[in-house]
Amino acid sequence: MRILTTAALALALSAPVLATPPAKPARLGLCAACHGEDGMARIPGAPNLAGQKLDYLREALRQYRDGRRDIPVMRAATGPLTDAELDQLAQWFSAQTPSRAAP
């Protein structure tokens, strides 16, 4: 019995850290209109976000909010959001699996 418990524990500890998908962010709706809830863009000009690098998404969202990347629609969308809310969104989109779509 102890062996089984040890084996189960070892198995659990060896699982990838991000095996559990992040919870759906409360602020996802506004992003999803253009980028898709799954991070595959729905409109011309908007980038796919699914599977994008987490550090890149976190930094990009801060740049949009602070105006360092000056895209009015993104500044309006991110302006009211806290760092924690931006991070939840970055984690959500980074964890999505990209699908092939028409370029």
Least distance (Å) from its own copies to the CB of residue 25?
A: 16
Among the residue ranges 7-15, 26-34, 76-84, 94-102, the one whose residues contact its own copies (CB under 8 A): 94-102
Of 30 and 95, the one with the shorter C-beta distance to its own copies is 95
Question: Per CB under 8 A, does 72 bind its own copies?
Answer: no
Give burial (CB, 10 Å; 0-12/13-18/19+) of 9: exposed
Contacts of residue 54, defined as CB under 8 A and 6 or more positions apart, other chains included, come to 90, 91, 94
Residue 94 touching its own copies (CB under 8 A): yes
Torsion of CA 24, 28, 29, 31, to 10 degrees: -150
Is 45 a binder of its own copies (CB under 8 A)? yes
Tokens of 64: 């949009």
42 touching its own copies, by CB under 8 A: no
